[in-house]
Amino acid sequence: MSEIETTAPMTPDEQRATLVPMVKSRPPAEAATLLEEYPADVIGSVLLSLNPAFSQDILAALPGGLVDGIMKVVQPERARQWTHNAVYPEDTIGRMMEPAFSVFPPAMTVAQTVTELRTLVQKAFITYGYVVDPQGKLLGIITMRDLLFAADETRLADIMLRDVFSLRPEQPLEDAMRQVLDRHYPFYPVCDGAGILLGLVRGQAMFEEHSFDITAQAGTMVGVEKEERLTTHWLQSFKFRHPWLQLNLLTAFVAGAVVGMFEGTVERLVVLAAFLPVLAGQSGNTGCQALAVTLRGMTLGELKPGQERELVFKEALLGAMNGAFTGLIAGGGMYAYASKQNLPEALWLAFVVWLALVGACVVSGICGALIPLTLKRIGADPATASSIFLTTATDVVSMGLLLGLATILV
């Protein structure tokens, strides 16, 4: 049964107005399931009200026959654009393109352009006019202000803005966001390598998509899929999350195996067990700080090619400094705790805690920077489960250093 229940039949516009917020709150696959029970014209109107990239993902999840029906009821320009956009990967500008309706030849006059615009504004939101040659190459942009003040007989070629900023369809959204950061145009033309105008992308749509990617980043760090929302069914959420928890359990066994290697040391110096979580927590926080700063720099484009070594060195230095100062407190705590138990090795144990914490924080800082850099190098999302990998590294190193140094020095 439909999720929209009323006492009287709803018009297509009323259905669209009700469906749009419901669809926006769901991942594409669930949104497609919700829309499947509605007529093609209603689905088409809903998709036209959504972010183009989101609409594209929903279309990919709908049955082929229904998609064909939707393509027949929307404007031909929209149908062609959706079909064309489908060839581009997710999170690229090409996925978000809309058709450019206000396209004119350079010889057209202002009066002719205004007459044609009066018809075009009835079927699309027009902000700029785009001047192209017979092959479709973008030559310039016409603003409404230029049309308003120019004489009727003026050719578009004489008033167009020639230095046109455009985006490429294969361009990742993250890279495009860096380019438009100081421009803030309502629409951006999208051209191929030959300068052929392929479509337009809304600045608002880009910022919406980018803001969603940023909000999803915290979840991907701990194995929560980008597609999961508050409305996602509990069974689907379980399928999303459980594999990562199994991976986390496997990595926890690795840390446990490290402790098992020094079982004799733990039995001889039981006091060390009380400080294992101290080192794991402190080094883990150090690594998370480095991870957060690295991911932020990568997202904002602050990390330039060739700066990776400098970043890793900086995080290692910060780890050494933070470890040295927090290690003094932790070492003092160990000395007091061991002295209270009348252990003759109290001073050595304090030194071991200090040295282990310095080493663990150094390695944690390095790992916090290297893990996202490595994931990006192999073509993966830098945030994907990075926290899980980081936790494993910090636990293994901090526990291994504490117990290993205690075995050697005490």
Per-residue pLDDT tens over the stretch 224-239: 555 666 666 777 777 7
7 domain residue, yes or no: no
261 domain residue, yes or no: yes
Q: Among the three residues 198, 219, 240, which one is the final residue of a domain in this structure?
A: 219
Residue 227: what pLDDT?
A: 60
Q: Given a cut of 60, is residue 283 above it in pLDDT?
A: yes
Least confident of 99-113, 298-312, 316-330, 337-351: 298-312
Structural domain containing residue 19: 12-74
Residue 130: what pLDDT?
A: 96
Share of the chain above pLDDT 90, in %: 34
Q: Nearest Cα to 123, choosing from 73, 55, 77, 69?
A: 77
294 domain residue, yes or no: yes
282 three-state secondary structure: helix
pLDDT tens digits along 139-165:
999 999 999 899 999 999 999 999 899
Residue 391: what pLDDT?
A: 83
104 forms beta bridges with: 131
**Residue 86 dihedral angles phi and psi, to the nearest 5°:** -60, -20
- Asked if residue 202 and residue 158 are part of one domain, the reply reads yes
Q: Among the three residues 166, 187, 219, which one is the final residue of a domain in this structure?
A: 219
Nearest-angstrom CA–CA distance, 141 and 166 = 11
65 domain residue, yes or no: yes
94 domain residue, yes or no: no
- Asked if residue 201 and residue 253 are part of one domain, the reply reads no
82 domain residue, yes or no: no
How much is the pTM?
0.57
33 domain residue, yes or no: yes
Residue 337: what pLDDT?
A: 86
Q: Are the CB atoms for 62 and 267 separated by under 8 Å?
A: no
- Asked if residue 236 and residue 385 are part of one domain, the reply reads yes
Q: Among the three residues 165, 188, 219, which one is the final residue of a domain in this structure?
A: 219
Number of structural domains in the chain: 3
- Asked if residue 112 and residue 59 are part of one domain, the reply reads no
Residue 1: what pLDDT?
A: 44
- CA distances in angstroms from 161 to 84, 172, 263, 297, 376, listed in the order given: 28, 26, 75, 34, 38
Residue 201 tokens, joined: 């992308």
155 three-state secondary structure: strand
pLDDT tens digits along 167-183:
999 998 888 888 887 78
- Asked if residue 154 and residue 58 are part of one domain, the reply reads no
Which residues have a Cβ under 8 Å from the Cβ of 152 and sit 6 or more positions away? Answer: 109, 110, 111
- Asked if residue 211 and residue 243 are part of one domain, the reply reads no
- Asked if residue 316 and residue 195 are part of one domain, the reply reads no
- Asked if residue 135 and residue 38 are part of one domain, the reply reads no
- Asked if residue 377 and residue 250 are part of one domain, the reply reads yes
Q: Are the CB atoms for 255 and 238 separated by under 8 Å?
A: no
CATH of the domain at 392: 1.10.357.20
Q: Are the CB atoms for 360 and 330 separated by under 8 Å?
A: no
Compute the average pLDDT of residues 174-200: 88
